[in-house]
Amino acid sequence: MSALFTPITLRGVTLPNRIVVSPMCQYSAERGEATAWHMIHLGQLALSGAGMLCIEATAVEPDGRITPADLGLWDDVTEAALKPVLAAIRKHSPIRVAMQLSHAGRKASSHVPWEGGQLIPVAEGGWQPHAPSPVPHKESEAPPLALDAAGLARVREAFAASTRRAARLGIDAIEVHAAHGYLLHQFLSPLANQRTDEYGGSRENRMRFPLEIFDIVRAQFPADRPVGVRVSATDWVEGGWTLEDTIAFAHELKRRGADWIDVSSGGVSPLQKIPLEPGYQVPFAREVKKVTGMTTIAVGLITDAQHADRLVEEGDADLVAMARAMLYDPRWPWHAAAQLGATVQAPPQYWRSQPREQKALFGDISFGQR
């Protein structure tokens, strides 16, 4: 049997295969509220045959949005806007649905990518970003406000409240976003964190706030549903966060009951130099898994079915998360199953689509017609 299409259980949640649809920002919300775009976007991906679908980075407070069009889950209105989207998915797909909870920190108040992605000044309708330290992401930008004790408390409660809302919505799993240069990654990286209190300086101190947030999310989410963390394994900048730091962080997360670690990289500095190639981040996932024994997700330009299958078969990672490839081909898991001789779940309305040479693709089914 294809390793990619073997089931895996995370606490009380069993996935039929090891394919995860990565959280992908759509910048299509209104005041944080999900829109018809989310119904279409998430709806089609829910029919992909993947084992789990992760909703995009979801801001825990308005100031934590990357852009004014980010999805949020911070009040009754944003919670209500997600209900029909999830109801439609539940009605027509058995896929497990996760959500990535996030705070943008100093990368907040930005234009959407197709409008340049630059910081929006307060005078032009933006808002004042908050961060561990008053260090801008780019030298040309105004510095963010350093979070004081009250600000840290506010962010803690925001993560707690969003977690409770996610649980009420029936979300199956949560991924805490501590990667890609957003707030929790900013606390981890010495490039962004120049605090002199108990949340800055040593690696232990820089890990303190992200670990506090994980503990809060884990405590507020039902015990039988998993909570994982996405990390940037390296900043790709000299003097920044490293793989050695990531392994230390992973050990602490494992001790606290984290159910997986999703190993990405970069995002905290525009000075990063990333050698892009298929699977370029897999060595990080492999090393984290080898040293810590944690359930690990590999990401990064993984587009070939045999490559993905080999990563699981050889123990480089336990799951493979896909983003851009899934947007380009929302039926990627179907095609991978056909190529690897596996079966995949599909709605009965689509059963007639399986090619004649792939009669077992959707399992042992029949489709009569008068």
Q: Which stretches of the chain are DSSP H helices? A: 36-46, 76-92, 149-168, 183-188, 203-220, 243-255, 282-292, 305-313, 324-328, 332-340
* Residue 357: per-residue pLDDT: 82
Q: What is the pLDDT of residues 283-326, one digit of tens each?
A: 999 999 999 999 999 999 999 999 999 999 999 999 999 999 99
Mean per-residue pLDDT over the chain, rounded: 96
Instruction: Name the residue among 244, 314, 241 with its Cα closest to residue 282.
Output: 314
Residue 182 falls in the annotated catalytic set: yes
Q: Walk me through the domains of the chain, giving residue ranges and CATH numbers.
A: 3-358 (3.20.20.70)
Residue 169, token pair as written in the block:
């919505």
Q: Which residues contact 80 (CB under 8 A, 6 or more apart)?
A: none
| Structure tokens belonging to residue 104 | 């943008």
Q: How many CB atoms lie within 10 A of CB 71?
A: 28
Look at 107 and 276; give whichever has higher pLDDT.
107
Give the Cα-Cα-Cα angle 95, 318, 336 (nearest 5 degrees): 60
**Distance, CA of 337 to CA of 360 (rounded, Å):** 10
Residue 365: what pLDDT?
A: 57
- pLDDT tens-digit map of 151-174: 999 999 999 999 999 999 999 999
User: Distance between CA atoms of 294 and 313, rounded to whole angstroms?
Assistant: 16
Per-residue burial over 77-110, b if 16 or more Cβ lie within 10 Å, else e, is ebbebbeebbeebeeebebbbbbbbbbbbbbbbb
pLDDT tens track for 261-293: 999 999 999 999 998 898 999 999 999 999 999
pLDDT reported for residue 359: 76
CB burial readout 123-139, b (16+ within 10 A) else e? eeebeebbbbbebbbee
String of DSSP letters for 194-207: ---STTSSSHHHHH
Q: Encode pLDDT of 205-226 as tens digits.
A: 999 999 999 999 999 999 999 9
Q: Pick the catalytic residue from 27, 182, 199, 350.
A: 182
